[in-house]
Amino acid sequence: MEAMFAPINRFFAVPSSALNKSQTGATPASFASSAANVSVNVSKHNSIAPALKVAPIEIPSKADIELRAQEPTHGTMVTVALAGERWSVEKAIAWQQSVGYQAGVNFIPSTADNELEMFQDATWDPKTIDRELSWAANTGFNTIRVFLHHILWQEDSQAFIKRVDEFLGMADKYGITTTLVLLDSCWNAYPMAGTQPEPIPGVHNSQWVQCPGYDIVHDTEAFKSVVLPYVTGMVSAFKDDKRVLAWDVWNEPNNSGYANDLIGPLLKLTFSAIRTIEYTQPLTTPIWQGVNDIVYSRFNDLQLVLSDVFSFHNYADATQLEACIARIRLVDATRPIICTEYMARTAGNIMRQNNVFAYNWGLVSGRTQTIYPWSTTTTPATEEPAIWFHDIFRADGTPFNASEISYIQSILLPKTKV
């Protein structure tokens, strides 16, 4: 059901009454209420998993959670000591209150096809970045999520710090904070410095690269010598910078087929290394599999117990998105939550109603080609989809759906008193 993977601000579940036909002439079916069973593609590997039929999720009862807590073999019991290293709930709530409500997008300029092309010297494009950030601000967004890469640190750490600082300055000029993503297990497993391959026509995110990638993930000593200096160096450089909202330590760490037993120790090692620094922005890592399950996996437990503030991804419909939020709050009713990737839409304003910070994927259609669905990794598209999978604007600044932009502005931008 590709129609549910629609053009994008997924921060809002947009009422169908707020929308006109898009510029393509089609009224996005996904703006309306979803069916009870929806087709959800749950993987972002290089080879895409078949669509999965997901039934409506029931919120676990208090009794369910209490029974789960009594299972000594479950992940919470064996990782609970790690919770003593993270921020207290009080500190996390104070941070949330100090920054105010945050809603935005996962950002990469339309002229870059991955995080290396975004920041490396030969393809650094501040003019485009500044222009597209202004569109984000005019839409009402006040935060962005941006991916970094250890290869840029290896090549010239000081130049990389300077470039990130320049980027943060451009975002801050428009009143936009930035969540920085340090590591990522999605898409191409063998990142390389230098000129990046051209996007494959009609294929979603065809040249996005993992950080650090397959080889280093499978070599603990290389991880310690290459990755840890990068993450601690980057956090140290910006640990007191108010332009940085949060640190997403590792995006979907056990994606791309990486075994939990392989990634888990590396994830703990990374958090422990960063926690030797007196940082002022919270650390998090998003749960993304089984996010509605009554009993979370050991790995989900690990991610949550490591995180100063919780984060998650949910690409299901609005009903299941709300159930997911409720499920996370059963772990801790008051610790702040960020949804760093989602695409749910139906009537209502789910994220804001639940005080969940939110990032949809993509602002401007460009070299990442995320207007196409994940399925194009196996079957490339031959034409622009009638309903975009991600992104909000065309490269010339024209919105995919002007009504969607107006609706977002009506929610996020300050109201003018008459």
370 in Cβ contact with 39 (< 8 Å): no
Handedness of CA 403, 407, 410, 413 (dihedral sign): negative
Distance CA 33, CA 346 (A): 5
**Length, in residues, of the chain:** 418
Per-residue confidence (pLDDT) for residue 12, from 0 to 100 = 42
Please say if the pLDDT value at position 239 is more than 70.
Answer: yes
Please say if the pLDDT value at position 121 is more than 70.
Answer: yes
Please say if the pLDDT value at position 136 is more than 60.
Answer: yes
* Residue-by-residue DSSP string for 282-317: -EE--B-SSTT-SS--HHHHHHHHH-SSEEEEE-S-
What is the number of other CB atoms lying within 10 angstroms of the CB of residue 301? 22
Per-residue confidence (pLDDT) for residue 62, from 0 to 100 = 53
> In terms of pLDDT, which residue wins out, 21 or 411?
411
Question: What band does 414 get if pLDDT is binned at 50, 70 and 90?
Answer: confident
Question: Half-sphere exposure of residue 320, counting CA atoms within 13 Å on the CB side?
Answer: 26
Q: How many helices (H) and strands (E) does the chain have?
A: 15, 10
Distance CA 365, CA 388 (A): 9
Q: What is the mean pLDDT of the chain?
A: 83
- Tell me the pLDDT tens digit for each residue of 205-222: 999 999 999 999 999 999
Please say if the pLDDT value at position 83 is more than 70.
Answer: no
Element (H, E) at 94: helix 89-99
Per-residue confidence (pLDDT) for residue 413, from 0 to 100 = 85
What is this structure's pTM? 0.84
3-state class (DSSP) for residue 331: helix
Per-residue confidence (pLDDT) for residue 163, from 0 to 100 = 98
Distance CA 177, CA 216 (A): 31
Task: Tell me how far apart the 2 most distant CA atoms of the chain are, in Å.
Answer: 63
Per-residue confidence (pLDDT) for residue 404, from 0 to 100 = 87
199 in Cβ contact with 113 (< 8 Å): yes
Distance CA 53, CA 46 (A): 21
Q: At 250, phi and psi to the nearest 5?
A: -150, 115
CA dihedral 302, 241, 228, 340 (to 10 degrees): 40
Question: What band does 61 get if pLDDT is binned at 50, 70 and 90?
Answer: low
Instruction: State percent of the chain over pLDDT 90.
Output: 69
Per-residue confidence (pLDDT) for residue 185, from 0 to 100 = 98
- Tell me the pLDDT tens digit for each residue of 145-168: 999 999 999 999 999 999 999 999
Cβ-Cβ contacts under 8 Å for 92 (sequence gap 6 or more): 282, 308, 309, 335, 336
